[in-house]
Amino acid sequence: MAVYTEVSDDELEDFAAEYDIGQVVSCKGIAEGVENTNYLLQTEQGNYILTLYEKRVNPEELPFFLGLMEHLAAQGLACPTPIKGRDGKALRNLCGRPAAIVSFLKGMWSRRITLGHCAELGPAMASMHRAGADFPLTRANNLSVAGWRPLFDAIRPRAAEIKSDLEEMIEDELAYLESHWPKTLPVGLIHADLFPDNVFFIGDRLSGIIDFYFACTDILAYDIAICLNAWCFEDDGAFNATKARLMLNGYRKVRPLSDEELQALPLLARGAAMRFLLTRSYDWLNTPAGAMVKRKDPMEYYRKLRFHQGVTGPGQYGIE
Ligand SMILES: Nc1ncnc2c1ncn2[C@@H]1O[C@H](COP(=O)(O)OP(=O)(O)O)[C@@H](O)[C@H]1O
Ligand SMILES: N[C@@H](CCOP(=O)(O)O)C(=O)O
């Protein structure tokens, strides 16, 4: 459960009084998510999400994230919009943490990814990339190739607790990725954590995208690579090329991909797998015993990385 910070009734009342959102009716901790504390805030006027920002979010970067959500929502993307208080500010403090209220999105994330979900994801991701093109702020991706070695150094002494050959595997792969990482692909605004639990559906239709707190300026096709990993593998570890084809072709209808971008996909998918292998390994080794949060399995990403190491071209992702 991701409620790291408990909010008392008095603190909540004072906080909500800064907004024109009506009287608070209830405030319930949300059990999902791993990064921040989220509450479902119900007021006389409707539902909202109250987020208190925790460890991985740098408070100085919050204007970027909140501004981005505001920008994308204004462009018609179904994503949360920050709610401003009477003073015009969306960002304030609660219980010693930066905090904001955002609009509530209807829909549910799907635990069972279908071909239809992947077909919907592609164009939605491409529309997000297009809508982000004129967002004026930029943010470097601190979890891209330059950020991987410091994470590796932090997990290295205990990597064998996860898998005996993990240290050796990451060492070799990191050296390869550092020397081959593409430098000329189109760059723009990416979500960078577009996992199934951050995409809502109503029935088979995609109804919204949430959780922009890893969003950054990076290679656009890297977002696609993250999704190849997060959406196109089955529970038994098999890669589903039909899912990948539907996602990629749906994407290309809204934002065509150059040959250079397509050829780079296997490498980007290796990098994307490395990124989540590293953060999951770090969290696996460093989550305090008894913390109310479910750790995510690093080995899932070890296996995905091994798969992409064997991919020789984008054809293996189901496309010509
Ligand atoms: N704007 C929103 N509308 C509706 N539900 C939301 C919204 N934001 C978050 N949630 C709920 O909170 C959960 C955790 O949110 P998320 O942003 O993924 O947390 P974290 O950043 O901590 O991982 C989501 O799975 C969803 O159930
Ligand atoms: N998607 C990441 C973890 C980040 O969790 P989220 O709840 O913020 O999406 C992973 O799967 O490792």
* Alpha carbon nearest to ligand 1 atom 23, residue: 33
> What integer pLDDT is reported at residue 291 of this predicted model?
65
pLDDT at residue 1 tops 60: no
| Ligand closest to CA 51 | 1
131-159 pLDDT, tens digit per residue, is: 999 999 999 999 999 999 999 999 999 99
Is ligand 2 within 6 A of the CB of residue 197? yes
Token pair recorded at residue 258 = 């150059």
**What is the band of 48 on the pLDDT scale with cuts at 50, 70, 90?**
very high
Q: Which residues of 165-181 are buried (b: 16+ CB within 10 A; e: fewer)?
A: ebbebbeebbeebeeeb
> What integer pLDDT is reported at residue 256 of this predicted model?
98
Which domains, ranges and CATH numbers included, belong to the chain? 9-103 (3.30.200.20), 115-317 (3.90.1200.10)
Give the ligand 2 atom nearest the CA of 197: 9
Side-chain half-sphere CA neighbours of 22 within 13 A: 10
Q: How many angstroms separate the CA atoms of 53 and 74, rounded?
A: 23
Is ligand 1 within 6 A of the CB of residue 198? yes
Is residue 195 packed enough to be buried (19+ CB in 10 Å), middle (13-18) or exposed (0-12)? middle
Q: What is the ipTM of this complex?
A: 0.94
Q: How many angstroms separate the CA atoms of 5 and 193, rounded?
A: 23
Is residue 41 packed enough to be buried (19+ CB in 10 Å), middle (13-18) or exposed (0-12)? buried
pLDDT at residue 214 tops 90: yes
| Ligand closest to CA 295 | 2
Element (H, E) at 97: strand 97-103
pLDDT at residue 56 tops 80: no
* Alpha carbon nearest to ligand 1 atom 18, residue: 33
**What is the band of 33 on the pLDDT scale with cuts at 50, 70, 90?**
confident
Is ligand 2 within 6 A of the CB of residue 195? yes
> What integer pLDDT is reported at residue 290 of this predicted model?
67
> What integer pLDDT is reported at residue 57 of this predicted model?
86
CB-based contacts of 225: which residues, under 8 Å, 6+ apart? 265, 268, 269, 271, 272
CA-CA-CA-CA torsion for 98, 102, 108, 109, nearest 10 degrees? -50
pLDDT at residue 188 tops 70: yes
Is ligand 1 within 6 A of the CB of residue 211? yes
Q: How many angstroms separate the CA atoms of 121 and 196, rounded?
A: 9
Q: How many CB atoms lie within 10 A of CB 9?
A: 9
**What is the band of 93 on the pLDDT scale with cuts at 50, 70, 90?**
very high
CA-CA-CA-CA torsion for 153, 154, 156, 157, nearest 10 degrees? 120
Chain mean pLDDT for the chain:
95
152 CA from centroid of ligand 1 (Å): 28
> What integer pLDDT is reported at residue 292 of this predicted model?
63
pLDDT at residue 288 tops 90: no
pLDDT > 70 in the chain, percent = 98
97-120 pLDDT, tens digit per residue, is: 999 999 999 999 999 999 999 999
> What integer pLDDT is reported at residue 4 of this predicted model?
87
Give the ligand 2 atom nearest the CA of 2: 7
Give the ligand 2 atom nearest the CA of 213: 8
pLDDT at residue 260 tops 70: yes
Q: Which amino acid is at 224?
A: I
Is ligand 1 within 6 A of the CB of residue 35? yes
Query: What average pLDDT does range 41-65 have in this prediction?
Result: 93
